[in-house]
Amino acid sequence: MTDAHAIDSLGWERRTFVPSDAFRSNALVSDHSLYEEASQDFTAFWAKQASELVSWSKDWHTASEWNLPFAKWFVGGELNVSYNCLDRHVLAGKGDKVAFHFEGEPGDTRTVTYAQLLDETQRFANVLKGLGVVKGDRVNIYMPMIPEAAIAMLACARIGAAHSVVFGGFSAISLTDRINDAEAKVLITADGGWRRGEIFPLKHTADEALLGTPTITDVVVVRRGGNEVTMQDGRDHWYHELMAQADPVCPAEPMDSEQLLFLLYTSGTTGRPKGIMHTSGGYLTQAAFTHKYVFDLHADTDVYWCTADVGWITGHTYIVYGPLANGATQVMYEGVPNFPGNDRMWQIVEKYGVTLFYTAPTAIRTFMKWGDHEPAKHDLSSLRLLGSVGEPINPEAWMWYHEHIGGSTCPIVDTWWQTETGAIMISPLPGVTTTKPGSATFGLPGIGTELVDESGEHVERGGGYLTLTQPWPAMLRGIWGDPDRYRETYWSRFSGRYFAGDGAKLDDDGYLWLLGRVDDVMNVSGHRISTTEVESALVSHPSVAEAAVVGALDATTGQAIIAYVTLRGGFEGDEQALRNHVAVEIGSIAKPKAIYFTPDLPKTRSGKIMRRLLRDVAEGRNLGDTSTLADASVVNELQRRAAEAPAED
């Protein structure tokens, strides 16, 4: 399905922002040399980055092996990812450097140095070993945003177990599915975490999930919320008790460059989430490279803050692996941006003197809604660079970010990438690129991007499908347990190239403007949710006969989930009950914003639900020709009702 509407809707933004002399004079890169070098030979370029940014215990013999669509990077090389993130900094005398300024939502704080992080990681790696976890096993992590989440991930990396982090907002059923797909041995969770002044009871949800997970033998529970939990004898253990007894030394064993580092589940166009596989050497190289150069990291002086949750890829690459590999000092914040007040983020920026700030457009639009006076309450002059990720950033939000957060001086890096790409692919380099509000600009050095039309032909200007033309070090290595689905999903639409699922447009200066998904994946507040998944959840409710779900444009969340439901005979439509049902099946992030009950769904004469038309209805557009519809009156009725305001949470 093409996204003609999205492509049409984008007016041209003509403002440009040249990197200031002040920024350039201090920037790590201020000319085109990296681009030039990479365009000569991208494999050699990445090999150079791998030697410069990563410590290897054994050199690779081949930089890259490419058997389309299967890639290997730094073949024959060995490294330990946790050594790269911890030991080498401590060995270099930086043990006292702060890794995390942790800020709990209730206001409690912890300062975690690299030496402490290394110590806890070693102990926890020994805890995992003690529970029988060995290299190659999978470990599930279901945690709040606390340092132990990073420690758990690094401990897995240290012993060669792959982690699979599940975002704490996902439901018990989602957790069960992910644990079972990965056949994980151990689950690491917490009693609860803080969110908007209340505890969300993670262990309680995990207990429900664990009723259906035969492979889990042990559960480790971090005490964070202090809420009451049930501990099952023999299976459940308190983190602090195991840690108190753990051996403090766990040597970082060298791992193959292609050792599985983690699985991260993400929504695709079909119902079942897929376990995206990332490995070690290539992933770490690109994570470190992009974190260093896109954010212009000066590790000795910068204070970096990425507001993502570790449950998403952004948290993996730009809170854990990239920043720690680079020895950065960062802020980690547990809670929501409006507790206790709407200025919490700016208070934290001021408190820690944050210099590099990375967040999502949906958050920026929310901050705009809360008003200019909130950031104005604080001294934000420490900031020197801003980043954006997760969805297209509209020019208004970009300008607001620039003026009200960046004091009209900070460059903005709008970074396009995906769970599958592992690291940033399209972004300005802040000391080099002239930016335009709303454009992610160009592919980074070493990355091949190309827009193509429906038939795969090169598009020079205007709209098209975004593809990636050459392998990159952090690329996904496959879908866990399903190589065919991997090939089919990413490599079959356009032969020989990776299709990202996004539409984009090239302007007259060759700048890329991302336009959003062109498939059945919605992007709600920067989270990927598949329409099919929400439809399946709705249909699993006893009252529902059929459901169609679309993502409609939304001023704050980018897209909002709108559902059209036909009921089984004898049932009353209960919108709240259905929304709650979706929250139980998937998680609250997938709750439809509005549900319309309709006696019929608009279908083609061959019986296909016309989702595109439903999206037009949901977005209040005039419908063109509806003559292909089996029953046009259905749509008239839906349109009439859509004109009434949709329900809010």
Closer to ligand WTA at the Cβ: 140 or 415? Answer: 415
Instruction: For the CB of residue 434, give the shortest distance to ligand WTA in the complex, in Å.
Output: 17
> Does 414 help bind ligand WTA (rule: CB under 6 A)?
yes
Residue 100 CA to residue 319 CA, distance in Å, equals 10
Q: Is 362 in the site for ligand WTA (CB under 6 A)?
A: no
User: Per CB under 6 A, does 415 bind ligand WTA?
Assistant: yes
Burial (CB count <10 Å: 0-12, 13-18, 19+), residue 622: exposed
Query: Does position 397 bind ligand WTA by CB under 6 A?
Result: no
Binding to ligand WTA by CB under 6 A, coded x per residue (else -) over 310-349, reads --xxx-----------------------------------
Q: Of 201, 140, 148, which Cα lies nearest the Cα of 175?
A: 140
| 147 to 13, 78, 121, 435: CA distances (angstroms) | 41, 27, 11, 35
- Return the ∠ at Cα 121 (arms to 115 and 126), rounded to 5°: 130
Q: Is 114 exposed, middle or buried (0-12, 13-18, 19+ CB in 10 A)?
A: buried
Q: Residue 530 in contact with residue 269, Cβ under 8 Å?
A: yes
Our CB check for ligand WTA shows the closer of 266 and 536 to be 266
Is residue 218 within 8 A of residue 235, CB to CB? The reply is: yes
- Residue the block writes with tokens 């946790």: 82
Output 398 or 564, the one with its CB closest to ligand WTA: 398
Site string for ligand WTA, 373-392 (x = CB under 6 A): ----------------xxxx
Minimum Å distance from CB 399 to ligand WTA? 16
* 363 contributes a contact to ligand WTA by CB under 6 A: no
- From 189, 205, 418, 470, residue interacting with ligand WTA (rule: CB under 6 A): 418
Which of 523, 525, 530, 559 forms a contact with ligand WTA (CB under 6 A)?
523
Cβ-based neighbour number of residue 646 at 10 Å: 16
Report the distance separating Cα 507 and Cα 502, nearest Å: 16
* Distance in Å, CB of 292 to ligand WTA, minimum: 18
Residues numbered 568 to 627 that lie near ligand WTA (CB under 6 A) are none
Beta-carbon contacts of residue 458 (< 8 Å; ≥ 6 apart): 450, 451, 452
| Nearer CB in complex with ligand WTA: 159/261 | 261
**From the CB of 411, what's the least distance to ligand WTA, in Å?**
15
Site string for ligand WTA, 249-278 (x = CB under 6 A): -----------------x------------
Which one of residues 502, 519, 520, 619 is an interface residue with ligand WTA (CB under 6 A)?
502
Transcribe 50-77 into DSSP letters.
Answer: HHHH---SB--SEEEEEETTEEEEEET-
Q: At 392, which helix (H) or strand (E)? A: none
Whether the CA torsion 462, 465, 466, 467 is positive or negative: it is: negative
SS3 content of the chain, % helix, strand, coil (to 5): 35, 25, 40
Least Cβ distance, residue 306 to ligand WTA (angstroms)? 11
Residue closer to ligand WTA by CB (options 152, 313) is 313
Q: How far apart are CA 406 and CA 403, in angstroms?
A: 6
Instruction: Say how far apart CA 376 and CA 127 lie, in whole Å.
Output: 47
Beta strands 449-452 and 385-389: pairing type?
unpaired
Gyration radius of the chain over CA positions = 24
Q: At closest approach, how far in Å is the CB of 181 from ligand WTA?
A: 17
Minimum Å gap between C-beta 361 and ligand WTA is 8
| CB of residue 296 to ligand WTA, shortest distance in Å | 18
Segment interacting with ligand WTA, rule: CB under 6 A, options 85-93, 106-114, 293-301, 497-505: 497-505
Site size toward ligand WTA (CB under 6 A) is: 23
**441 sits in which H/E element:** none
11 or 214: whose CB is closer to ligand WTA? 11
CB of 523 to ligand WTA, least distance (A): 5
Q: Which residues bind ligand WTA (CB under 6 A)?
A: 266, 312-314, 389-392, 414-419, 440, 500-502, 514, 516-517, 523, 528
